[in-house]
Amino acid sequence: MMKFKGRTAAAGLMVGASVFGAVSASAQTGATPPVVAADTVASDQLPDDAPSEAQDVVVTGTRFGGRLIAESPVPIDSVSNADLRKGGYTQLEDQLKVQVPSFSIPRPATAGAVDFYTAPSLRGLSPGQLLVLVNGKRRHSSGDLSIHNQIGRGDVAYDLNAIPSAALGRVEVLRDGASAQYGSDAIAGVINLVLDRSIGAGVDTTLGITDKADGETADINAWLGVPLGDGGFVRTTLSYRTTDGTNRARPDTRQQYFGSDGTLMPSGNYGSGTGLTASNGTLDPREATVDRDTFRLGEPEYNQKSAFVNAELPLAPGIDLYGFGGYSRLDGKSIGFARRAGQDETVRALHPDGYAPVVEATLQNASGTLGVRGDDLAGFGYDVSTVYGGSIIDIDQVNSNNPSLGAASPTRSYRGGTRFFQWTTNADLTREIPLGDTSPLKLAFGYEHREEYYRIVAGDTASYTNGGVAILDGPNAGKPAAIGFQANSGITPEEARKESRNSEAVYVELEKTFGPLLISGAGRYESFSDFGDTTNYKLAARLQLAEPLALRGSISTGFRAPQLPQSYFATTSMTIVNGAQTSSRLLPVSNPVARLLGATDLKPEKSDNLSIGAVLTLPGLSASVDLYQIKVKDRIALSSTFQGAAVTSLLAENGFTGISAVSYLTNAVDTTSRGVDLTARYIHDFGAAGKLTTTLAANYNKQSFDRIAGTPQALADLGVTTPLFDLTQQVRFTDSLPRDKVTLDFAWDWKAFTLNLSNTRYGRVGAVAFTSLRQDQIDVLTPGYDVDIVAIDGSTNSQVIQYFGAKIITDLNLAWRATEKMTLTAGISNLFDTYPDKNIASTAESVAVGTNGSDNAGIFPYNYISPFGYSGRAYYLKAGFRF
């Protein structure tokens, strides 16, 4: 088994993997078998004036070489490099969000590492139900489990932004279940990042800034592609991206200091430090001069460097050696919730005016792939490859303190980190078997072996220890202090661990054409060392009704094995309750405390996918519509937090003292997702007046619950009524991503100019704003807001769901091809400076009835779930040069 030796050794291993990918100097676009170049498509396969994307050749979803998008039996999007990068967005996830309607990302804040790679979603499902490939080969995910109360909670996502879009030739998005072809995770679909293989050199740079004069961004890319041997190539891409982030938080109007000469704790009510609502005692004079701009809500500050190599070397006629790989490092800063001067979490000897903890995150990703592909091995085409890649995440906390260490506390600590490595080896064979008619039977089969290694790294001692120092001053002087660094305690040695697993799979794929009817089928058997085995299938068909119109459909089963972080991640938050140290713990399901509270072994998620659609191809027009249903059984989610006197007593009776709250991962629900995808592109040539390309892409998706697990029996027997999966988590599944999304794009080409106008409508989203309010509080807070009121069983209080309305984001840019080798672009993102609806506001009236709003006492006007962020209008300039 692999040995782990800390941050330096792990980083060295990552760099080594990157060098391996580069030195192997090989790589084709990586599909099995070889990619068919677009310029090899026969001209009689489509009308001469058919839209270009109808003639795009895609390799995702089949093992029999490239095929035209219009001829695929399942829906696939192909987004070119030019389309990805035509706007002002510099990160791949943001570029895909605009180009692919069923693709969504949130804009998290104060969420640690997740701030820097977010959590991509396809068709409204969880981030972990989306599989990512690079050149047709499985990409490693991150090793970070999202535990914050935001989209993707309890899940593990891919860091798509680790791959610069300048290194890509195109992105293929398979909008269909594909576990029978690619294995675990491909429930919602597959994103295949196809690396560029072009010859030539170039450089481009994008500079941007928001309308509020923040978010200064610089993105610089350089690439070089040179011939290698007889028909081979090496293409290298270097990228650097930096941004100072944005901030749309409001000043913190709460009381910051002790009241009445240090004898009273500060009020936490909105405006209590500025005279809008009552303070707690006489205000400290410093309230009039303190800097209240202590929070950040917006894009994080970071810089990122990356390098990718894609290469291919012919060894002999019909035999190619290929390889690709890359390395990226992101260093970012995220601001945690500020601790006021008068809070017990503040060591005033170190931070007399309070502090905002700074999370410094380092994300490293590296991968290397080596393979050989040939046309004839005993009559079979073959592709044998091995891929090694991994993710390293380290978190430091700066400008903070551990209150239990008192004035001796350092202001910087290492919180801990994760390591995730994945090694996948495939051997694929393909053959066409003549059957005496015009169409042979296409056969493919293969074997895959995958090993995964996961490590949780403990933080330094100061990040989690109880130093035993009581609160030094103020009204609570002498009482026990909070334990661990703020904003989050470090990973303890007890939580650190090393785990691994492996899986083996065999698979087969068949395809046959019967006149106008194409039928394909796939089957896969896979066995995991920790979750047993599973068998999945897929059947797909396409029927050409007439020259312009075809029907298509598929039916399949899918699965997703729990990720290693979902099985083993643990973390502890230390608090003081009634003067005693207690802990709130997220525990793996194998932990005896979790078992005592109803945790059971995680099971793989299983899905049944159904899709039916139609494709229309006419002169100048291509269009498709696809209806789908995805039923997922035993979806994995983070449970509700179980706490209270009954829970504490049960744990104490069994020898587990000092624990106040517990949560764990669980197969909580079964869901059904139903939706429709619509795409259309029309090209009209106006002669001397230019050419107009109009593109429409839309998605509607609705999720519903077929089963929601009830309160675990062990807790129900104690009279605990907290559900295993509460309303907050339920609404996050059903409403945190837009149910509908529509993009309408106009591109006008005239001589050396291209004017692009893009409009993206993001549908309504929702989140639980309050988990328990009295009716008089609801009456004061909710007028003017779109809300649902949900009664709480056995209580006169209610929960409040707030909905945020649909918005249209318009982007505009003008590109000028100044010479054959130079292009200049100017543009505006979010032309009309559109912001999401605001959170329910804190007001003096709400404070009078005993509650703030859902805006963190006025600090956060916008909700994390906004599908387009909350940075507003931005301007950018771009220059590109090719040599």
With respect to residue 788, please indicate whether it lies within any of the assigned structural domains.
Answer: no
CA distance 614 to 549: 7
Q: What are phi and psi of 217, to 5 degrees?
A: -130, 140
Contact predicate 248/297, CB 8 Å: yes
Contact predicate 661/641, CB 8 Å: yes
With respect to residue 752, please indicate whether it lies within any of the assigned structural domains.
Answer: yes
CA distance 528 to 503: 4
Q: What are phi and psi of 653, to 5 degrees?
A: -60, -25
Q: Which run of H or E residues covers position 14?
A: helix 6-23
Same domain? 373 vs 415? yes
Q: What are phi and psi of 532, to 5 degrees?
A: 80, -155
What Rg do the C-alpha atoms of the chain give, in angstroms?
Answer: 28
Q: What are phi and psi of 689, to 5 degrees?
A: -80, -5
Closest CA to 59 of 24, 22, 86, 33: 33
Same domain? 412 vs 305? yes
Same domain? 101 vs 238? yes
Same domain? 440 vs 578? yes
Contact predicate 623/614, CB 8 Å: no
The type of residue at 97 is: K
268, 292, 316 - which closes a domain? 292
Q: What is the pLDDT of residue 116?
A: 82
The DSSP result for 302-358, as a single string, is EEEEEEEEEEEEEEETTEEEEEEEEEEEEEEEEE-PPBPTTSTT--TTT-TT-B--E
Tell me the three state secondary structure of residue 396.
strand
Q: What are phi and psi of 16, to 5 degrees?
A: -60, -40
Contact predicate 156/566, CB 8 Å: yes
User: Side-chain half-sphere of 456: how many Cα atoms within 13 Å?
Assistant: 20
CA distance 846 to 277: 10
With respect to residue 396, please indicate whether it lies within any of the assigned structural domains.
Answer: yes
Across 404-548, the runs of DSSP E, i.e. the strands, are 412-433, 441-457, 497-514, 517-528, 532-546
Residue 161, C-beta contacts closer than 8 angstroms, at least 6 positions apart: 91, 92, 93, 116, 117, 304, 330
Tell me the three state secondary structure of residue 406.
helix
Q: What is the pLDDT of residue 575?
A: 52
Same domain? 260 vs 240? no
With respect to residue 836, please indicate whether it lies within any of the assigned structural domains.
Answer: no
CA distance 487 to 873: 31
Closest CA to 105 of 804, 762, 766, 837: 762
CA distance 589 to 628: 33
With respect to residue 800, please indicate whether it lies within any of the assigned structural domains.
Answer: no
Same domain? 163 vs 246? yes
Measured from the Cβ of residue 469, the count of other Cβ atoms closer than 10 Å reads: 17
Closest CA to 219 of 174, 161, 179: 161
Q: Which run of H or E residues covers position 182?
A: helix 179-182
Across 547-579, the runs of DSSP E, i.e. the strands, are 549-560, 571-577
pTM (predicted TM-score): 0.90
242, 266, 292 - which closes a domain? 292
| The token pair that represents 644 in the structure block | 């209270």
From residue 755, how far is each of 98, 426, 846 by CA, in Å?
Answer: 17, 45, 49
Same domain? 16 vs 142? yes
265, 292, 319 - which closes a domain? 292
Same domain? 502 vs 514? yes
Q: Which residue has the tokens 């697990």?
A: 709
Q: Which run of H or E residues covers position 732?
A: helix 727-735
With respect to residue 18, please indicate whether it lies within any of the assigned structural domains.
Answer: yes
Same domain? 423 vs 279? no
Q: What is the pLDDT of residue 878?
A: 96
| The token pair that represents 58 in the structure block | 């895609």
Same domain? 545 vs 493? yes
With respect to residue 748, please indicate whether it lies within any of the assigned structural domains.
Answer: yes
With respect to residue 704, please indicate whether it lies within any of the assigned structural domains.
Answer: yes
Domains identified in the chain, total number: 2
**Structural domain that includes position 280:** 253-292
Residue 363, C-beta contacts closer than 8 angstroms, at least 6 positions apart: 113, 116, 117, 142, 159, 162, 328, 329, 330, 332, 391, 392, 393
Same domain? 276 vs 307? no
From residue 34, how far is each of 312, 375, 440, 672 by CA, in Å?
Answer: 11, 9, 19, 37
Tell me the three state secondary structure of residue 303.
strand
Same domain? 277 vs 395? no
CATH number, domain containing residue 456? 2.40.170.20
The type of residue at 606 is: K
**CA 54 from centroid of its chain's CA atoms:** 29
CA angle 50, 53, 57 (to 5 degrees): 110
Summarize pLDDT for 423-455 with one digit per residue, the tens. 999 999 999 999 988 899 999 999 999 999 999
Neighbouring-strand partners of residue 171: 79, 193
Altogether, the residues listed in the chain come to a count of 883
| The token pair that represents 601 in the structure block | 């072994």
Contact predicate 574/483, CB 8 Å: yes
Q: What is the pLDDT of residue 573?
A: 67
Contact predicate 357/486, CB 8 Å: yes
Low-confidence ranges of the chain (pLDDT < 50): 1-55, 576-579, 581
Q: What is the pLDDT of residue 110?
A: 67
